[in-house]
Amino acid sequence: IYSCCYLNRRLNQLSNHDPLWKRHCKKYWLISEEEKTRRNQGWRAIFISTYCDLGRYIHYYGTLKKAWDDLEQYLGQWCPRMISSLKESVKEEDLDAVEAQIRCKLPDDYRCSFRIHNGQKLVVPGLMGSMALSNHYRSEDLLDIDTAAGGFQQRLGLRQCLPLTFCIHTGLSQYMALESVEGRNKYEIFYQCPDQMARNPSAIVMFITGTSYLEWFTSYVNKVVTGGYPIIRDQIFRYVHDKDCVATTEDITVSVSTSFLPELSSVHPPHYFFTYRIRIEMSKDALPENICQLESRYWRITNAKGDVEEVQGPGVVGEFPVISPGKVYEYTSCTTFTTTSGYMEGYYTFHCLSNKDRFFNVTIPRFHMVCPAFKVSTA
């Protein structure tokens, strides 16, 4: 009995030793020294008060708060107008009310994120990335909790699915499955497209983009803040660049990034739509007499079955760009496959402006395009 009393007394002394709570405050709640000074509280008091509010999210909060902080810092530097579209956090009772409204439980990682930011306003550009072609534009907003709840689906094919994103221009959304129904895994995130060959109009195909909200959101943020997606006209464009997909010929370097467009794709019939962005750059150390103009292009396009198509024509996207030392020319184009993957490679033919009899080819590196994993709804 004496030992137990001594042990409890010692535990009580330890639990009241304020510096011991510092590590937990920083690990779980990301509380800085500056924040502690501002709040004018001890580490123990800060931990307890924060736990009373956010305790159910203790395994998610630190990761999601860091992702949001990193994203805000990056947007402040590169896409400042997006900052004003972010909405303030919601309260626990707001999330409970949504669960009561849709009669379905929200995952804790999703709830935790909305305790930090309640998505964004329905504006352009969207926080979750843009894509643009000559006659097609997409920009996805991260929906606030009330708008998401209003779009909660109970119809056949999308039963118990909650929209996470929305594009004003295309109507495209990414959905999260709140239950394991119709062939989906619980909390799986996906784009949906109609199964055009099915007799049932509710039959859909799901292109999988995440296995949980935490994985989906943090992987996207990591890609953004590490420069994995280019910033074009103050927007995040979801082009993926393979660092090995670069080729240099003399003073000219060609690099390629690609993107899959689910809203223009179909599984039945097979029609997989990809867009690619090509960057052509002449070294700034090149001699002035090396200025040249793009004359023509040659493509060799191979699908997953090994079928080959060759394409040759003048210029690129109707243009004949002039490349000079230090100058960069970029353009976007697109292609489709009847298989879930394929690759392209080829070359550009240039002629020197200082010697118009001199023509030379510049290698376009092979770049692969792969459709994300997909499944067909059992509905």
- Between residues 202 and 285, the one the model is more confident about: 285
Average pLDDT, the chain: 93
CA distances (Å), 250 to each of 61, 142, 171, 323, 355, in order? Answer: 51, 44, 45, 13, 16
User: What pLDDT is recorded for position 206?
Assistant: 95
DSSP assignment of 65-123 equals HHHHHHHHHHHHHH-HHHHTTBPPP--HHHHHHHHHHHTSPPPHHHHHHHHH---B-S-
CA distances (Å), 334 to each of 104, 191, 277, in order? Answer: 40, 20, 9
User: What pLDDT is recorded for position 6?
Assistant: 56
Percent of the chain with pLDDT over 90: 87
Q: Is the pLDDT of residue 8 over 90?
A: no
User: What pLDDT is recorded for position 100?
Assistant: 97
So where are the chain's domains?
4-56, 61-224, 240-372
Q: Is the pLDDT of residue 195 over 90?
A: no
Percent of the chain with pLDDT over 70: 97
Q: Which of 140, 148, 139, 97 is nearest to 118 (CA)?
A: 148
User: What pLDDT is recorded for position 2?
Assistant: 46
- Written as one letter, the residue type at 185 is N
For 222-225, which contacts have Cβ atoms below 8 Å and span 24 or more sequence positions?
Answer: 222/67, 224/71, 224/74, 225/70, 225/71, 225/73, 225/74
* 3.40.120.10, 3.40.228.10, 3.40.50.720, 3.40.1580.10: CATH of 61-224: 3.40.1580.10
Q: Is the pLDDT of residue 5 over 80?
A: no
Domain 240-372 has CATH 2.60.40.1470: yes
Helices then strands, each counted (H, E), the chain: 10, 19
User: What pLDDT is recorded for position 321?
Assistant: 97
User: What pLDDT is recorded for position 15?
Assistant: 74
pLDDT digits (tens, 9 = 90+) for 259-273: 999 999 999 999 999
Q: Which of 35, 36, 27, 238 is nearest to 132 (CA)?
A: 238
- Between residues 376 and 257, the one the model is more confident about: 257
- The Cα 346–Cα 301 span in angstroms is 9
For 11-15, which contacts have Cβ atoms below 8 Å and span 24 or more sequence positions?
Answer: 15/44
State the average pLDDT over residues 359-364: 97
Q: Provide the pLDDT confidence category of residue 196 given band limits of 50, 70 and 90.
A: confident
- The Cα 306–Cα 322 span in angstroms is 35
CA distances (Å), 185 to each of 152, 158, 214, in order? Answer: 17, 13, 15
What spatial distance separates the first Cα and last Cα of the chain, rounded to whole Å? 64
Q: Which of 169, 134, 137, 194 is nearest to 334 (CA)?
A: 134
Other residues' Cβ atoms within 10 Å of the Cβ of residue 344:
22
pLDDT digits (tens, 9 = 90+) for 38-81: 999 999 999 999 999 999 999 999 999 999 999 999 999 999 98
Q: Which of 221, 218, 219, 235 is nearest to 78 (CA)?
A: 235
State the average pLDDT over residues 104-127: 97
State the average pLDDT over residues 27-32: 94
Min mean pLDDT across 4-18, 99-113, 193-207, 331-345 is at 4-18
State the average pLDDT over residues 168-195: 95
User: What pLDDT is recorded for position 7?
Assistant: 61
